């Protein structure tokens, strides 16, 4: 009888503890309910905690405490029944071998979730060094898919803040079909030689805000693809990397317009490009990119500080003699200062088939101290409005 009473007491205590956890709305992966341990793989524990939290009728939080944990992969799917938060204080480490993933293009994915918060100061470590050695996407357009650290598909009304994406195998953060999502104080870190590791890539989304981010990587710090509207990039530091880019656009059929891009108060250091718009020649269909504004930007030893390139053709796998069909309209570059790593500091090369319209250069002050020639600029198929720009930067050569 005593034994049965003890068992009953333990059962009631466990039930009470479980009820308290649910009522508090905190689902700790290291609790007895889920059993995650430091240094071990927490894939199953995290999946179970998410399932329970997502089913909660009140605001809930999945919690990963300080420490290092292995994570084979994670798929966080909604819709959830109430606002939900994932608070990661520790470090999550992906398998170094991407072949261990069941979805080879995704390590951690978030899908169809409304009112999601990700926070905690933790790190998502993609352990990408092995993958970079095998990645030939810089020369092969048909390269194999490699895992992106964090995918956000159809996420709405959400905030991702105070997290780090480290050494992703491919893009660090990929955003698709999202609406009203803010990335605040997000850090991206990978060496400059890491291949195809865009910091934050945005596709077909509306109302995306990237604020106070620090991005150091081997490709574009921020890249903005087709179908995006009302994108704000503010107080981002970038470098090393390829800069902040709109595009490339015009490579595929039926691309959607890009409208309303604002890049403001950013600093780029030792990047291969500064702020740029790039479209492919020989576009398979017409495209539109309009209402794009770059304001208050500091360049520090940037190779191509201001660039519109409508002849973008990596790998020489396109017909460069066929003009781009992407119409670029209503673009401004204002208050851009600092140093260029090359003498050609401003380059606006528009399509000969559809010239750029309503392009402004205002308060441009860039210097070059190298020995490869005088500071200069180039414009073609465009007649920009130029205000308070030194002669060398004011379309010194035009066509």
Task: Count Cβ atoms below 10 Å from residue 328 Cβ, excluding itself.
Answer: 30
Provide CB contacts within 8 A for 161, sequence distance 6+: 117, 118, 119, 182, 183, 184, 185, 186
Residues 6+ apart with CB under 8 A from 117: 83, 84, 85, 86, 158, 159, 160, 161
- Asked whether the CA dihedral 13, 16, 18, 20 is positive or negative, the reply is negative
Does the active-site annotation cover 242? Answer: yes
**Burial zone of 254 (CB within 10 Å; 0-12 exposed, 13-18 middle, 19+ buried):** exposed
Answer positive or negative: Cα dihedral of 76, 79, 80, 85. Answer: positive
Of 390, 325, 394, 324, the C-alpha closest to 359 is: 394
Q: Count of CB atoms within 10 A of residue 374's CB?
A: 8
Task: State how far the Cα of 346 lies from the Cα of 332, in Å rounded to an integer.
Answer: 13
Which of the following is catalytic: 172, 214, 242, 293? Answer: 242
Euclidean distance between CA atoms 243 and 270, whole angstroms: 9
Which residues belong to the active site? 242
């Amino acid at each position: 009888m005593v034994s049965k009473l003890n068992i009953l007491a333990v059962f009631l205590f466990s039930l009470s503890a479980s009820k308290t956890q649910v009522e508090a709305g905190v689902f700790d992966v290291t609790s007895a309910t889920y059993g995650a341990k430091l240094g071990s793989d927490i894939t199953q524990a995290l999946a179970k905690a998410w399932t329970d939290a997502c089913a909660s009728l009140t605001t809930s939080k999945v919690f990963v405490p300080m420490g290092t944990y292995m994570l084979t992969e994670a798929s966080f799917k909604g819709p959830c029944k109430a606002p939900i938060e994932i608070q990661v204080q520790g470090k999550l480490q992906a398998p170094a071998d991407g072949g261990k993933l069941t979805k080879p293009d995704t390590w951690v994915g978030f899908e169809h979730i409304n009112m999601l918060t990700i926070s905690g100061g933790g790190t998502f470590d993609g352990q990408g060094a092995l993958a970079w050695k095998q990645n030939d996407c810089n020369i092969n357009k048909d390269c194999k898919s490699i895992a992106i650290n964090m995918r956000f598909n159809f996420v709405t009304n959400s905030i991702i803040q105070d997290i780090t994406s480290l050494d992703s195998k491919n893009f660090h953060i990929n955003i698709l079909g999202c609406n009203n999502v803010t990335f605040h104080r997000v850090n991206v870190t990978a060496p400059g030689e890491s291949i195809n590791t865009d910091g934050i890539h945005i596709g077909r989304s509306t109302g995306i805000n990237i604020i106070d981010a620090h991005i150091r990587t081997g490709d574009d710090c921020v890249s903005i693809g087709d179908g995006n509207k009302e994108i704000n990039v503010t107080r981002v530091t970038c470098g090393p990397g390829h800069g902040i880019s709109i595009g490339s656009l015009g490579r595929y059929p039926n691309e959607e317009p890009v409208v309303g891009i604002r890049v403001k108060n950013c600093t780029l250091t030792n990047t291969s490009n500064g702020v740029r718009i790039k479209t492919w020649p020989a576009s398979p269909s017409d495209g539109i990119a309009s209402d794009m504004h770059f304001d208050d930007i500091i360049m520090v030893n940037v190779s191509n500080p201001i660039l519109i390139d409508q002849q973008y053709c990596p790998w020489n796998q396109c017909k460069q003699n066929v003009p781009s069909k992407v119409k670029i309209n209503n673009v401004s570059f204002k208050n851009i200062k600092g140093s260029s790593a090359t003498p050609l500091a401003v380059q606006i090369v528009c399509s000969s088939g559809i010239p750029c319209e309503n392009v402004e250069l205002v308060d441009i002050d860039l210097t070059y101290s190298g020995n490869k020639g005088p500071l200069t600029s180039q414009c073609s198929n465009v007649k920009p409005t130029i205000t308070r720009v030194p002669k060398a930067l004011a379309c010194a050569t035009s066509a």
